[in-house]
Amino acid sequence: MIARRFTVTGRVQGVGFRWAAQGEAERLGVVGRVRNRTDGAVEILAQGERAAMDEFASWLEHGPRFAQVADVDAEPVEPIDVDGFEITR
Residue 18: active-site member: yes
pTM value?
0.94
pLDDT at 11: 97
Q: Is the pLDDT of residue 89 over 90?
A: no
Q: Assess contact for 66 and 15: CB atoms under 8 A.
A: yes
Q: Which CATH class is domain 2-80?
A: alpha beta
Residue 37: active-site member: no
How far CA 69 is from CA of 31, 48, 80, 81, in Å, comes to 22, 23, 25, 28
Q: Is the pLDDT of residue 77 over 90?
A: yes
Q: Could you say which of 5, 35, 36, 37 is catalytic?
A: 36
Q: Is the pLDDT of residue 22 over 90?
A: yes
Annotated domain spans of the chain: 2-80
